[in-house]
């Protein structure tokens, strides 16, 4: 018997045999065509794409963190030069943008937590506000921990 979830795979499996011009994920001829920059037309769409693009800032921060670890392993002089590079205006501007994107990521990510996490206590569902406050408290705690560890005395 064909299960409902198999219906999605079926055309792909038999597609080439039934329809020689079949291409997976590209059923162009059944769909209305949208412009490539469809997300520029509406604020909500632009916000969505911006949210998705925050992943670039996350990836950049990961790579720069690796670079800083590498620089630290190269010795004092390399670290001093790296610090000088960090305060050059173009680098500061890029990092300012990276930080804004990261904050946007944090806010959008944590705001979705109540939707992703439907916690129950007995028969009652924990209110969204409590889940939200819990996540923001975790953000505050994590930030304090990082500050304390890196620059605390």
Partner 1 sequence: MAKVSREPFFWAMFSAGGMLAALVLPAVVLLLWFAIPLGWVEAPSYVELVTKIDRPPVKLALFALVVLSLFHWAHRFRFTLYDGLQLSHLYGLIATVSYGSATVLTLLAARLFWSFP
Token pair belonging to 83? 């610090």
Strand partners for 29? none
Read off the tokens for 136: 């923001």
Place of tokens 């009652």: 124
Contacts (CB under 8 A) with partner 1, residues 98-137:
98-99, 102-103, 105-106, 109-110
Q: Cα dist. 21→13, 16, 34, 90, 117 in Å? A: 14, 7, 21, 50, 43
Rounded least distance, CB 123 to partner 1, Å:
28
**Residue choice 1, 7, 17, 36 for contact with partner 1 (CB under 8 A):** 36
Q: Which is nearer to partner 1, 11 or 79 (CB)?
A: 79
Stretch that binds partner 1, among 14-22, 95-103, 126-134 (CB under 8 A): 95-103
Query: Exposed, middle or buried, 152 (CB in 10 Å: 0-12/13-18/19+)?
Result: exposed
Contact residues for partner 1, defined by CB under 8 A: 23-26, 34, 36, 39, 49, 52-53, 55-56, 58-59, 61-66, 68-70, 72-73, 76, 79-80, 83, 86-87, 92, 95, 98-99, 102-103, 105-106, 109-110, 138-139, 142-143, 146-147, 149-151, 153
């Amino acid at each position: 018997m064909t299960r409902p979830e198999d219906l999605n795979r079926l055309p792909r499996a038999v597609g080439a045999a039934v329809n020689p011009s079949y291409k997976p994920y590209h059923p162009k001829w059944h769909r209305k065509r949208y412009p490539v920059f469809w997300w520029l037309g509406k604020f909500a769409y632009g916000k969505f794409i911006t949210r998705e693009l925050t992943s670039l800032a996350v990836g950049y921060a990961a790579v720069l963190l690796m670079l800083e670890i590498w620089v630290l392993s190269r010795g004092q002089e390399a670290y001093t030069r790296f610090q000088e590079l960090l305060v050059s205006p173009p680098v500061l501007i890029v990092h300012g943008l990276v930080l804004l994107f990261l904050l946007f990521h944090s806010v959008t990510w944590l705001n979705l937590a109540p939707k992703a996490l439907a916690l129950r206590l007995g028969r009652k569902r924990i209110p969204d506000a409590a889940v939200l406050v819990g996540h923001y408290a975790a953000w505050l705690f994590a930030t304090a921990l990082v500050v304390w560890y890196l620059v605390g005395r």
